[in-house]
Structure 1
Amino acid sequence: MPVEVRRRVPAPLLFVLGGVSMYVGAALAVGLFDTLSPSAVAVLRLLGAAAVLLAWRRPGRSAWRGSALVGAAAFGLATGLMNLAFYEAIARLPLGTAVAIEFCGPVAVAAVASRRPRDVAAVVLAAVGVLLIADVRWSGSPSGVLWALAAATMWAAYILLARRVAVSGGGLDGMAVGFTVAAVVLSPVLLASPLTPLADPQILLLAVGVGVLSSVVPYVLDQIVLRRVGQARFAVMLALLPATATVIGLVALGQVPGALEAAGIAAVVAAVALRSRDGDVHPA
């Protein structure tokens, strides 16, 4: 995306575009659950994203050394573990429940980073909106709840580490390095699944597609957004994801939201608008 065009596009719109890409990738991932475990799908998604980013960016030697490598590796592992834990959670819990629990992470980041009363109000609105949209049901296996809480923890870590990678000046290169390190570290997870499907070119092609749509595109847009807004505002904007999913369900699948879901969407939009009016100090 050209720099001038990128600057003219509002940060919330960029974030929504990333969310749309993420959910299209999730639709592709559903087809992989029939032949592979959720953890294996998450690792294949990471491998696909790493391969595409390495071919695109070709990070120089400096990106593989010292503090740059450590920061990128921590970011990549947080991202990979977040995806792995979430896939395992939705295999055991209703999607709405898993999403609601996972949102404890970004909401906590926003609350800790808040400094003004309107920030707190925005966080409360976002939390209420997410709970309404997700239609939380506290049922399911204890292991599913633990996986969802693990995903929430990794999501909070992702926000903090992604911000550091973004402002360090090596955002996309750092992402390529981080995803590569995480793919290598987590690749033994694939051994827990049958290896026969991995020989199918169609499976591998789907994995690359899931990696690009669910990781490369949304996380690249995250880097752009993070350069323009603070951590608290970014964490509130994450609440747009369930709203985006609801709209996609309405348009593509004819899923009409109920009264609670509509109220949740309104609360989320209000939270983003409230927080957006307060300008953050932009990083140099």
Structure 2
Amino acid sequence: MHTRPSPALTPAAAPAPATRPDTPERTGGRLVGVATMIGSGLSNQTGAAIGSLAFPVLGPVGVVAVRQYVAALVLFSVGRPRLRSFTWGQWWPVILLAVVFGTMNLSLYSAIERVGLGLAVTLEFLGPLAIALASSRRRVDVCCAVIAGAGVVILMRPQPSTDYLGMALGLLAAACWASYILLNRTVGRRVPGAQGAAAAAGISAVMFLPIGVAVAVRHPPTAGAVACAVIAGLLSSAVPYLADLFTLRHVPPRAFGLFMSVNPVIAAVVGWVGLGQDLGGLEWASIGAIVAANSLSILTSRG
């Protein structure tokens, strides 16, 4: 869920000419890249599932607080931001990014607690899908939007067991992810390398520090719950971030985006197998529709 900071890489950073014949080295690199993408997706969603095991003790707020601490440690070690050199023009988008980053994870994990991993990640995925479709004027993307919209209607259809608050939290996570993408572009233009993402993760961790202390005082954590939260932070933040850095050096951006669109399916399978969160046929169909809409948009795009 994809709910992690992504490296600020552009298609210009990808390996260049498509006219160059594939060599064994390039083919091997792509195979390793695909394997890394699969491992990254499984790591991300497995981390979220393990984190949910700590909900009875820490609650979603406590788990997210620990995850923010882990993300900050990882990103600071990679990005090494020079905070003293930041200007106000660099600071304000970084601060907004930190707020959006924390809100995105908190709303997602709160949605997971209420509606399950598969549905929560699917709703969150509407954020980047909306960004992609809104920036296009192609007819095929209008069709993709209709398909995705139909999937959302099926997911959110009124039922006696429908958790509207959980659905709303999933949509809030989607809005935050869309904002995260737009803010990341701004930060990427104004702050070199991964320094902006690292600074935002650090600010977010500081924001969650009093929250984590309050949770620990009210509900003393067990060693098992803290371990689950730390593992969630590592699997959902550290591993995917480093994996994406490697993957984008060997896999074309279109293929990377196509695989990212499969994350809702991975989340649904992990939730089903690991947490016993079974979905009905209509839920699976709606998840498939949203994934298909994004896949179709990517496969028919020209650049």
Q: Is the 1:48–1:208 contact (alpha carbons within 8 Å) kept by the matching residues of 2?
A: yes
* Residues 69-108 of structure 1 aligned to structure 2 (within 5 Å): 69-93=91-115, 98-99=120-121, 101-108=123-130
Instruction: Render the CA deviation track for 1:142-169: whole Å, top value 9, x for unaligned.
Output: 6445433432321221222234445667
Residue number in structure 2 paired with 1:162? 184
Q: 1:273 to 1:33 in 2, by over 3 A?
A: closer
User: Of residues 26, 33, 53 in structure 1, which corresponds to 2:75?
Assistant: 53
Offset of residue 216 of structure 1: 3.0
Distance 2:243 2:84 in 1: 24
Distance 1:189 1:97 in 2: 27
Residue number in structure 1 paired with 2:293? 271
Distance 1:126 1:13 in 2: 28
In the alignment, structure 2 segments of 5+ residues that lack a partner are 1-13, 16-25
| Secondary structure in structure 1 of the residue aligned to 2:58 | coil
| Code of the aligned partner of 1:188 | P
Instruction: Render the CA deviation track for 1:227-278: whole Å, top value 9, x for unaligned.
Output: 9759xx95x8764222122444677689897654664565455434422234
| Code of the aligned partner of 2:71 | A
- Greater RCO, CA 8 A, separation 6+: 2
Residue number in structure 2 paired with 1:114? 136
- Aligned-pair identity in percent equals 34
Segment of structure 1 superposing worse, 211-220 or 98-107: 98-107
| Secondary structure in structure 1 of the residue aligned to 2:56 | coil
| Code of the aligned partner of 1:116 | R
User: Of residues 192, 196, 199 in structure 2, which corresponds to 1:177?
Assistant: 199
Q: Is the 1:92–1:141 contact (alpha carbons within 8 Å) kept by the matching residues of 2?
A: yes
Residue number in structure 2 paired with 1:68? 90
Instruction: Render the CA deviation track for 1:204-240: whole Å, top value 9, x for unaligned.
Output: 4443322121123335566776x9759xx95x87642
| Code of the aligned partner of 2:109 | Y
Q: Is the 1:88–1:147 contact (alpha carbons within 8 Å) kept by the matching residues of 2?
A: yes
Distance 2:169 2:69 in 1: 21
User: Of residues 114, 137, 153 in structure 1, which corresponds to 2:175?
Assistant: 153
Q: How many residues align?
A: 274
TM value normalised by structure 2: 0.68
CA RMSD of aligned residues (A): 4.2
Distance 2:204 2:218 in 1: 23
TM value normalised by structure 1: 0.72
Offset of residue 54 of structure 1: 1.6
In the alignment, structure 1 segments of 5+ residues that lack a partner are none
